[in-house]
Amino acid sequence: MMSNIINSGVFPGSQGGPLEHVIGSKAVAFEEALSSKFTEYSKQVIKNCKLMADEFVKRDYKVVSGSTVNHCILLDLRNKNITGKDAENALVRADITVNKNMVPFDTQSPFITSGIRVGTPAITTRGIKENTIPKIVDLIDEVLMNIDNEKVIANVRKKVNDLMGQFPLFVY
């Protein structure tokens, strides 16, 4: 029957049953999003990101939009002669998480890219405020300016872990 064909195309293919853990997760997320604490957190994410963009510009990095009005920054690394892939890999070795990202009129393939995307929600969640942002940009810059120097990258990894040790993931 046609109804059986339609039903089997909808469930379980594109529609499933309600999952209690997902419903519970959404309820907690919505409750947090309605709080004034979340509003303050969101404002801090943006403050941190705007300052981070300014700090990158001071160090001659090209912020694609000039600055930011949200939680992330797109850096075009072509003036530094670094690919997004190489930058991402070096920063990961220093325990700094970024994503390689295409930039407007990118000259590299999507698998290599000419840019990286940097965001502030994770560090803001850990309690980072404006006074720490220049230190973080310095660490990123130190890696990118020494992208093939494993000794420098290992030293930065230690600095990153020492710094972030002051901002634990979970406070009990």
Domains of the chain: 51-172 (3.90.1150.10)
Q: Indicate if the alpha-carbon torsion angle 101, 104, 109, 114 is positive or negative.
A: negative
pLDDT digits (tens, 9 = 90+) for 90-141: 999 999 999 999 999 999 999 999 999 999 999 999 999 999 999 999 999 9
| pLDDT number for residue 15 | 64
User: Which residue, among 135, 128, 122, has the nearest Cα to 59 in the 3D structure?
Assistant: 135
Kindly tell me if the per-residue pLDDT of 149 is higher than 70: yes
Residue partners of 53: CB distance under 8 A and separation at least 6? 63, 66, 67, 68, 73
Share of the chain above pLDDT 90, in %: 84
| pLDDT number for residue 11 | 66
User: Which residue, among 115, 123, 166, has the nearest Cα to 144 in the 3D structure?
Assistant: 115
Q: What is the pTM of this model?
A: 0.85
Share of the chain above pLDDT 70, in %: 94
115, 64 Cβ separation under 8 angstroms = yes
pLDDT range class, residue 47, cuts 50, 70, 90:
very high
Cα–Cα distance measured from residue 23 to residue 19, given in angstroms and rounded to the nearest whole number: 6
Phi then psi dihedrals of residue 119, to 5 deg: -130, 165
